[in-house]
Amino acid sequence: MQNLNRNDLRQRLTESGFKATHQRIVVLEAVTELHGHHPTAEEVYQKLNPANPTISLGTVYKTLDTFAEAELIKRVLTEEGGKRYDTCTTTHSHIYCSNTREIIDFEDPELENLLRDFFSKKQVNNFEIKSFAVQLTGKKVEPDKQISIK
């Protein structure tokens, strides 16, 4: 879990050139708290709404979009349409469960090194690779004992 101290959040906003408004602090806080859940704008809104009932859904949409554009957070790949967000963390992969439609983080340093090596050697035609991720699709086989989310 990342830092949830509001002063630090404020600082991260300022460093990225944003006005540190209450709304932005709270949105960034909510996404951070939901890290690993790959929330939609609506879910971020639900998360922060109880404590911040005056912050509008529209602002959450705008703010998430602005943050993603500035790479303060990132958009998560999905095959379902609809935008999902997550905090930027270390490189990791996602497992998509076609049963439950969950997106589950899968961190594996060995895999990351393997890929980092591969792409450092291999030049991809005319592309400056900024990041990579492996997307696994599959099905849970033991519904109870599962990879822990967050």
Partner DNA sequence: TTTACTGCAAAATGTTTGCATAAGG
Partner DNA sequence: CCTTATGCAAACATTTTGCAGTAAA
| Contact residues for a copy of itself, defined by CB under 8 A | 74-83, 95, 97-98, 106, 108, 110-111, 114-115, 118-119, 122, 124-142, 145-147
Residue 42 lies near DNA (rule: CB under 7 A): yes
Q: Could you say which of a copy of itself, DNA, none residue 61 binds, taking C-beta under 5 to 8 angstroms by partner kind? A: DNA
Question: Number of residues in contact with DNA, rule: CB under 7 A?
Answer: 24
18 binds DNA (CB under 7 A): yes
Residue 103 and residue 38 in contact, taking contact as beta carbons nearer than 8 Å: yes
Q: Which does 24 bind (CB under 5 to 8 A by kind): a copy of itself, DNA, none?
A: DNA
- What letter does residue 106 receive in the DSSP assignment? E
Assess 23 for contact with DNA (CB under 7 A). Answer: yes
How far, in Å, CA of 105 to CA of 53, rounded?
A: 30
Q: Is 97 exposed, middle or buried (0-12, 13-18, 19+ CB in 10 A)?
A: middle
Residues 99 and 60: beta-carbon distance below 8 Å: no
Residue 15 contacts which entry, a copy of itself, DNA, none (Cβ below 5-8 A, type-dependent): none
Please enumerate in sequence order all residues whose Cβ is within 8 A of that of 127, keeping only pairs 6 or more positions apart, or say none. none
Closest CB 48 distance from DNA, rounded Å: 10
Q: How far from 131 is each of 16, 41, 89, 118, CA to CA, in Å?
A: 20, 23, 12, 13
Q: Which of DNA, a copy of itself, none has residue 62 at its interface (CB below 5 to 8 Å by kind)?
A: DNA
Q: Which stretch binds DNA (CB under 7 A): 75-83, 87-95, 127-135, 137-145?
A: 75-83
* Radius of gyration from C-alpha coordinates of the chain: 17
